[in-house]
Amino acid sequence: MEISLSPLSTDEGTLVLSAIRDTTERQRAATQLARPEFHPEPIDLPHLVGEVRDILRAVSAAKHIAIDVAIDPSCSGLELDPSKLKQVLFKYLSNALKFTPDHGRVVIRARPEGPDAFRLEVEDSGIGSEQTT
């Protein structure tokens, strides 16, 4: 089998080159979107947790759900991306409020977990999920 390729005209070549550039730009843009950007900065964890709690205060008040906060004082001097942490905490807390029955309780806890890490927990009095063994 013989394959014959004819040369491209200038216009066709320009179109092909343009398509390649467009594809490359789309791939580059998709890679940028898939790679989260972190902007670490010093944060005040109790203040950040309080902000997220306050955003969801109306939801908790409507269901008469108490939100308790227990942050270990040694969780200080933290440097991380506050907007990313707020997003994560907002999702956890809103989920806890959603599945906690009226007059329930949600607890947000933070405690050190080694010299360079901390654990952030959101516990609720909702039904939870069944554990499988």
Query: How do beta strands 66-71 and 105-112 pair?
Result: parallel
Mean pLDDT of the chain: 85
The CATH code of the domain that includes 78 is 3.30.565.10
pLDDT in tens, 49-66: 999 999 999 999 999 999
In terms of residue numbers, what domain contains 113?
A: 41-124
Is residue 95, in this structure, part of any structural domain at all? yes
Model's pTM, two decimal places? Answer: 0.69
Number of structural domains found in the chain? 1
Is residue 110 within 8 A of residue 71, CB to CB? The reply is: yes
- Is residue 70 within 8 A of residue 109, CB to CB? The reply is yes
pLDDT value at residue 125 = 92
pLDDT classification of 8: cutoffs 50, 70, 90: low
